[in-house]
Chain A
């Protein structure tokens, strides 16, 4: 049996760990030069910070994951720095590109642990230098020791917004402005669900106690040259001088390979996203294809470790006590995750109402007005007519907000406009 695991973040590491313990020697692919995923990404060689200086209260979990990663590399066919740019479900083949060029890899069983990226709401001015995702600002701090500016505004909602604001503050680069789009009352209504995970809830309250966060506040536009941010809260419009802006309204899974595999997708009304369908153990309708971690549905790094381990047990045919224990833990984490989604919803009305001149699709420089004027009956027709989502990122950034814009223009439910289909190559690859 040829087993392949794509991704070496929390889900991938724990999947491979179970596979190796079960006597397998899987092929293990990661696009990054080393494992850890984005959450436990290590700085390149030469940086001095370690442990809590990088991973804060999760330093123990980061250490454990890195130790497992190192122990597993020699016991697998470890292929770092390798991109899976295509998946052919018929012959069960992956097309890879690494340092040595292009190659193919066959699989019988495949566990996709492809991770997540920031989910955004495009606003006028967001394509300028100085404007990044929240995840980018965190990666810059963690792996390069950088602050994005001297007067940084953080805008979005959810745990990453608060965590990054706290991390920057601790590093001596407190943000100039923190805008949380979610009204405090909305977050408060979800408090009982959040309290199911007291450790995480207290951690969040700890950040909040030491930060100034404006709630129910959204960015409206970034001025030319990224010198000012115009924003709005319940009291009206304001302008704050900035030299950098980071945007992020939660995360969205990287589902391109699951899509190419033929895994069916379903619309999740809570997240307002199309997600690949899988059961709690990671099984999909496609034989031999399993999903785990944030690449299936954003659940955070604890859920990812559980999901990776659980999917590997299915591959091994292990239905013992550990599977039952993992199932219980996954169900518990899922309830907490539902509460988090309710506490920090994607501000879909803000996306739907974006100004006409907003560069909705940054790859192809297509405005919201272009998509509205297309009156396309669904988002794939909208793509064909306007090139929204047809650029190098394949709609990773503009897909969800474009669906909001189109659905609002058509006056229909967002689920009715569908989702952008995945295409190979899932990322640009040099062919020469």
Chain B
């Protein structure tokens, strides 16, 4: 999948860490936006059916959960902050 930055993308860059490594997003990006525009996914299904990348983008489906600064969070409802630690499962 290739999520396309289409409109309103002239925003300052932010640095955060993804699974311990350096990563970049733009101010106002959700963690979900940041991960998908980096060309990656959110988590791996614990049932062996492959990668997942969320579905509803409104906090209902619970398919985009990961760890933000050590706490379970939904990627779709969490804005990236400078220095934030995002860890995928």
Contacts and interface: CB of A to CB of B under 8 A. Distances in A.
A240 interface: no
Contact of A243 (B1, B55, B60): B1
B24 interface: no
Nearest to B7: A145
Interface string B51-89: 111111111111101000001100011010000000000
Residue of B8, B27, B29 contacting most chain A CB atoms (<10 Å) = B8
Interface of B: 1-12, 26-30, 33, 36-37, 41-42, 45, 47-63, 65, 71-72, 76-77, 79
Interface residues of A, number: 53
B56 A118 contact: yes
A428 B58 contact: no
A117 B56 contact: yes
Interface of A: 31-33, 38, 43-49, 117-118, 127-133, 135-136, 139-141, 144-150, 171-173, 226, 243-244, 254, 359, 362-365, 391-393, 396-397, 427-428, 430, 432
A131 B41 CA distance: 12
B58 A38 contact: yes
A145 B9 contact: yes
A128 B11 contact: no
19 contacts: A43-B8, A45-B28, A46-B12, A48-B8, A117-B58, A127-B45, A130-B1, A131-B55, A132-B55, A140-B3, A141-B6, A146-B3, A147-B3, A173-B6, A226-B1, A364-B47, A365-B48, A393-B61, A396-B60
A33 B81 CA distance: 15
B60 A365 contact: no
B56 A132 contact: yes
Nearest to A137: B57
A148 B1 CA distance: 8
Given A44-B28, A226-B1, A365 B62 contact: no
B58 A363 contact: no
A278 B28 CA distance: 39
B55 A146 contact: no
A365 B71 contact: no
Residue of A132, A133, A146 contacting most chain B CB atoms (<10 Å) = A146
A135 B61 CA distance: 12
B54 to A, nearest CB: 7
A430 B72 contact: yes
